[in-house]
Amino acid sequence: MKKGYLILALPAVLLFFSCKEEAVPSAQEEVDDMLNNDQETLLEDSGMVLHTGDDPPDITNPGGTGDGDTTYVAEDLDCIVDTTGLYLENLYYYFRFYNLNTDNTISLDYTNNYGTDTASGVGAYILGQNSSFTVYAETSGESGGISYRTVSAYTGTLTSSGITGLKYAFIMTWKSDDPYGYLMGVDEFRIYEEGDGLLEYLDTYPGGLEPGPQEIRLHTAAGGD
């Protein structure tokens, strides 16, 4: 009889150990998978501050009185690092952050003021401490009819007026057919900052923007114009 009990007990023991739950990756681990060591070093060596920490400010609900869906406007984005040497200036973009969760996942969208360059995060996390933060994201977008994907980072400080000291970096990881080289190449990257140092809040994310030519001043990496 004792042997019978032992035989019956073994499947139960095996079943118990087979049901052990796998550990859920932390936000930092997910970011490390998203932005590899070479990419992280590339951005940091170019002057990009990448914050860590699991207690970032809530940029989706500044002041704690909104609906968890906030848009910020950058009226004068200037490129400060550019591996293509073009250094685009005076860009006008809207950045929307929403759906912040306890696991530090966050949703984001962006568009320029003509609606000719739009994208959304397909995976994004926010890390930081106190009022300083970095949003790390994989984005999928379209510009001038060309689809693209990037890994990107948004770093800044949340204040009562908006986001100050914003730096926005992205690395092109894929793009669709681009025979005339309209978009930057794969593995090229840029870092932008807001000209007046402040991204202010907007009540709503813009929609129905009419496509049109965006005037962009260019200068060379040597610093012309």
DSSP states of the chain? -HHHHHHHHHHHHHHHHHTPPPPPPPHHHHHHHHS-HHHHHHHHHTT------EE---TTSGGG-S-SEEEEEEEEEEEEEETTS----SEEEEEEEE---TTSB-EEEEEETTSSEEEEEEEEEEEEETTEEEEEEEEEEEETTEEEEEEEEEEEEE-SSEEEEEEEEEEEEEE---TT--SPPTT-EEEEEETTSEEEEESS---SPPP-PPP-----TT---
User: Do residues 10 and 4 touch, judged by C-beta distance below 8 A?
Assistant: no
Structure tokens at 68: 């968890």
pTM flag (> 0.85): no
- Distances in Å between the alpha carbon of 198 and those of 25, 75, 97, 158? 34, 9, 16, 10
pLDDT at 15: 45
Phi (first) and psi of residue 38, to 5 degrees: -65, -40
Regions of the chain short of the pLDDT cut 70: 1-22, 65, 208-225
pLDDT at 6: 45
User: Do residues 82 and 221 touch, judged by C-beta distance below 8 A?
Assistant: yes
pLDDT at 202: 82
pLDDT at 208: 54
Structure tokens at 180: 């005339």
Any idea what the Cα angle at residue 28 is, between residues 21 and 107, rounded to 5°? 95
pLDDT at 146: 96
Structure tokens at 151: 């890994």
List the beta bridge partners of residue 148. Answer: 141, 175
63 contact partners, CB below 8 Å, separation of at least 6: 160
pLDDT at 66: 75
